[in-house]
Structure 1
Amino acid sequence: MAYGAQADGGSLADHDSVTAFRSKRVVTLDKVRPASVLVRDGVIVELADWDSIPANSRVHDFGELVLLPGLVDTHVHINDPGRASWEGFATATRAAAAGGMTAVVDMPLNCSPETTTVEALETKRAAARGQCFVDWATWGGVVGHEGSIGNEADISGLIAAGVPGFKCFLIDSGIDSFAWSDEAQLRRALAVLQGSGLPLLAHAEVAGPVAEATVRLNAGLADWRRYATYLASRPDEAELEAIGLLIRLAEKFDAHIHIVHLATARALPMLKSAREAGLKITVETCPQYLWFAAEEIPDGATEFKCAPPIRSATNRKALWWGLLDGVIDFIATDHSPCPPEMKDRRLDSNDAESGRFDRAWGGVASLGLALPVVWTGLQDFGGDLSSITKWLSGGPARLAGLDRSSGASRKGRIAPGFDADFAVFDPDERWSVGEADLHFRHKLSPYVGANLRGKVLETWLRGERIFQQSNGTALFASVSTGQELRRNDP
């Protein structure tokens, strides 16, 4: 829709109902420009020139601050219901709001029951009711059962119930009741998904290379407090074999396959070739793979543990180029928190066995930090604010089917017909992450102490402010107004 067009073909004569969000730097899909974003009833109705504000409109003038579309994170482990002591809807969505996010999509494992049936989905919806500061959706799960039939019979029901897609593992998920899927089970699931337009999200590691590497390490009496040991136990080959399998499946089925949290840059050439061949494959990576490097991780620092693992500085640089070249589509956090004791960090003891990577839960806590982390790292690669919009808003919204200009799911861009979701961002503020800046439940995160550039100052959801930084204090809306986004809503 062109600039200046109306979302509904109507007029703006009813000035009193219009609110203008004005900035010298409004970030759209293809440019940064001075503009006034005109909003009625929580929806953008016009993207006008900076000085084109109807008389009697309410005006929020952000000056030189950047107005970004609300961020969308399609890889969040909220863990509710059942494991709200790890994280819950209230704390996760507050953290998301503080980071400029206005929509998150929850992963179907770590909660209990796992979201693999319609009944479990309804349990999750009940847990979320009245708790969410941002809008949310949840993936369904595809699980296997020891080489036999998995939950393929539940996929159609979950589609009808409104999930935007499905998540599976090709290796042990860490949750016994969310079993990994073998090739036969993946084929059966893809046969159901074929033609639906819904993606199958895959944790792309296979077990063989991991098991072989672990046996070798244990035979050599490896020190599991060293990050180098953990890295060696999850070799690149585990990802490469899994991605090779997924590419072969994409050649056989008319279905969208999405690779979550790509960690190895060695997969980029095969992924580029698959895309050039027209296969329906998309890819995400995560802030931790773009910010940290294996050589810099201290022994015993299990807050850095995730799977696939954080790899070398050379690999990190190659992932950045994969993003800039368009082989990697976007960035999602894979926020996967847990209670500190599950990280095997007994900080008040003298136990030399504390901090073992083989015993620690795998997952990086990061929700709310993606924008400044990515923006800071991007400074070394000459990227711009339009790239940020593509990677942290438009791309993830498209994966989850939230990027439509009509219906209930209108996320990921500043354009007529889309929700008035905004992140007000100061791209120049420099700050250091402290525990007070973390709004998720447990404050153990590898980002504590990181020196960042750029800070979210306000977040708006459907034209209402839900977060504000005021004199160093984080202020949140007194009422949680987040809504569930269902793929099949009219």
Structure 2
Amino acid sequence: MEQPLDLVVRAERAVVDGAERPAAVGVRDGEVVAIGPVDADWSAAEDVRLAQDEVLLPGMVDTHVHVNEPGRTHWEGFETATRAALKGGTTTIVDMPLNSLPPTTTVEALDIKRAAADGECFVDVGFWGGAVPGNLEDLLPLHDEGVFGFKCFLIDSGVPEFPPLFPAELDQYLRRTALIGALMIVHAEDAGSVTEATGSTYEGFVASRPDASEVTAIERVIDAVRRSGGRAHILHLSSAQALPAIRAAKAEGLPITVETCPHYLSFAAETIADGSTTHKCCPPIRSDVNRTRLWEAIADGTIDCVVSDHSPCTTDLKTPDFGTAWGGVASVQLALSAVWTEAARRGHTLADVTRWMSERPAALVGLESKGAIGVGRHADLVAFAPEESFVVEAARLEHKNKVTAYEGVTLTGVARRTWLRGVLATTERPLGRLLRRGDS
């Protein structure tokens, strides 16, 4: 090594090139510049050797986080959301365009959001734009300003300032995103298949948002992609009944990608207690058999990635009535541990989890500098203890509101130390940067 390094991290176990092996990772100016044998004879200002029970991972990339600032900062906020992400081993998030006021549907709103985030972030943060009726002409200016794509709903979003697109509008907006080379990400539930939920029974809530609501909406998205030439990403897939249509679309060569979330992989409807609205999300957590089929679809590549869909709220909004409670699971701090806990039980590896939660989300949004430990990539690194277990206590989480579906659940896997661009990141000093599409 001709020039001294800023940092060397040595690990008997590191996930590099899609596999786990011993490695030393050399860092200079925030980037990985060398990967060699664990005892490589390199000189560095700081030389760190991981403990025997730790594995070196790339930082997770979570492309589905509702930060809610500005406007609903009492629900979350950039400081608390990114502190929570950091504690959980996530080094990059992409913020959703709704639940903040104003929603990110214009360049002016994007500027307001960036101003709120500036200097407050403990991890790197990018932004999605919104696609709502009436803002078709805002898509290109938002795209030029560096949003990572556009989110739309096919059903009521839960907040009045972010209305859904009707089917004809979906086609129109996909033609526009195809023209400008942008990605459309879709909350795919069909309003005509959904009924109003009332009462405290979880069974009743699931019945109000049946599998058919997802299947119908996803088939509509596939048809719209075929007609328009646009690219679409299906958000938070819950129903395994939609998998045949997704597999057929991919086999046809349509540009369709799909995500699911830790709560769909961790919980089963049969075990959710009545009144436990911390588990309420839309679409809902479904049966144990359904969960197994989702895991199979992750393993075979039908589902591309796993992201948190962190959607927090204040405690009072989680009423015991599934009809009135806010729908969302707060989990950005727990996502990696939750997925690893269940993945390990099912025979998957840390290399698998890294592919689903880091490499593929980074590729989805075009962040070539993120998603893996590789020469030329950002030195976003995590010392992860895969065998250390803990019981989730909501009160100890960094989330602003101490509400989570994982309360009392034993999870395995702890992010002990995290480096952001080669600098040890802590919750004492925000090191995160604001990202734009195309950033290297």
Task: Output the TM-score relative to the length of structure 2.
Answer: 0.97
SS at match of 1:295: helix
Distance 1:489 1:387, change over 3 A: closer
Please name the residue that 2:225 is paired with. Answer: 250
Does the alignment pair 1:88 with 2:72? no
Instruction: Map 1:56-67 to 2 at 5 A.
Output: 56-64=44-52, 65-67=54-56
**Aligned partners of 1:208, 1:174: CA distance in 2, in Å?**
16
Does the alignment pair 1:368 with 2:333? yes
State the aligned residue count: 439
Name segments (4+ residues, structure 1) moved above 4 Å: none
Render the CA deviation track for 1:150-209: whole Å, top value 9, x for unaligned: 210100000000001010000000010100001111111111111544210000101001
Could you tell me how far 1:270 is from its partner in structure 2?
1.1
Instruction: Map 1:288-307 to 2 at 5 A.
Output: 288-307=263-282
Instruction: Map 1:300-339 to 2 at 5 A.
Output: 300-339=275-314
Does the alignment pair 1:166 with 2:137? no
Contact 1:93 1:134 in 2 (8 A): yes
Distance 1:434 1:461, change over 3 A: same
Q: What fraction of aligned residue pairs are identical, expressed as a percent? A: 47
Please name the residue that 1:4 is paired with. Answer: none
Give the counterpart letter for 1:33 in structure 2.
Answer: R
Give the counterpart letter for 2:385 in structure 1.
Answer: D
Distance 1:13 1:446, change over 3 A: same
SS at match of 1:84: coil
Instruction: Map 1:73-472 to 2 at 5 A.
Output: 73-144=62-133, 150-211=134-195, 214=196, 224-344=199-319, 355-402=320-367, 404=368, 410-467=369-426
> Which of 422, 430, 434 is the aligned partner of 1:480?
430
**Aligned partners of 1:330, 1:489: CA distance in 2, in Å?**
21
Could you tell me how far 1:57 is from its partner in structure 2?
4.8
Please name the residue that 1:47 is paired with. Answer: 35
Contact 1:28 1:389 in 2 (8 A): no
SS at match of 1:279: coil
Contact 1:160 1:488 in 2 (8 A): no
Distance 1:94 1:317, change over 3 A: same
Give the counterpart letter for 1:482 in structure 2.
Answer: G
SS at match of 1:426: strand
> Which of 1, 19, 28 is the aligned partner of 2:7?
19
**Aligned partners of 2:429, 2:387: CA distance in 1, in Å?**
31
SS at match of 1:194: helix
**Aligned partners of 1:254, 1:244: CA distance in 2, in Å?**
15
**Aligned partners of 1:55, 1:482: CA distance in 2, in Å?**
27
Structure 1: 5+ residue stretches without partners = 1-11, 145-149, 218-222, 345-354, 405-409, 468-475
Contact 1:68 1:425 in 2 (8 A): yes
**Aligned partners of 1:105, 1:394: CA distance in 2, in Å?**
14
Could you tell me how far 1:380 is from its partner in structure 2?
2.9
Contact 1:196 1:255 in 2 (8 A): no
SS at match of 1:273: helix
Give the counterpart letter for 2:107 in structure 1.
Answer: V
Structure 2: 5+ residue stretches without partners = none
Contact 2:154 2:191 in 1 (8 A): yes
Contact 1:29 1:390 in 2 (8 A): no
**Aligned partners of 1:278, 1:195: CA distance in 2, in Å?**
19
Q: In terms of mean alpha carbon deviation, does 26-35 or 277-286 score higher?
A: 26-35
Contact 2:8 2:44 in 1 (8 A): no
Could you tell me how far 1:321 is from its partner in structure 2?
0.6
SS at match of 2:259: strand
Give the counterpart letter for 2:210 in structure 1.
Answer: P
Contact 2:7 2:44 in 1 (8 A): no
Render the CA deviation track for 1:258-278: whole Å, top value 9, x for unaligned: 000000011111111111110
**Aligned partners of 2:17, 2:249: CA distance in 1, in Å?**
25
Could you tell me how far 1:437 is from its partner in structure 2?
3.6
Give the counterpart letter for 1:259 in structure 2.
Answer: I
Distance 1:55 1:461, change over 3 A: closer
Could you tell me how far 1:379 is from its partner in structure 2?
2.1
SS at match of 1:167: strand
Aligned alpha-carbon RMSD (Å): 1.3
Give the counterpart letter for 1:113 in structure 2.
Answer: P
Q: In terms of mean alpha carbon deviation, does 75-84 or 244-253 score higher?
A: 244-253
Give the counterpart letter for 2:436 in structure 1.
Answer: R
**Aligned partners of 1:460, 1:315: CA distance in 2, in Å?**
37
Give the counterpart letter for 2:110 in structure 1.
Answer: L
Contact 1:20 1:53 in 2 (8 A): no
Contact 2:62 2:94 in 1 (8 A): yes
Could you tell me how far 1:489 is from its partner in structure 2?
4.0
Give the counterpart letter for 2:435 in structure 1.
Answer: L
Render the CA deviation track for 1:197-236: whole Å, top value 9, x for unaligned: 421000010100103xx3xx7xxxxx61111111110011
**Aligned partners of 2:330, 2:400: CA distance in 1, in Å?**
10
Could you tell me how far 1:401 is from its partner in structure 2?
1.2
**Aligned partners of 2:356, 2:147: CA distance in 1, in Å?**
22
Could you tell me how far 1:56 is from its partner in structure 2?
5.0
Task: Output the TM-score relative to the length of structure 1.
Answer: 0.88
Contact 2:215 2:241 in 1 (8 A): yes
Distance 1:488 1:30, change over 3 A: closer
Give the counterpart letter for 2:304 in structure 1.
Answer: D
Give the counterpart letter for 1:92 in structure 2.
Answer: A
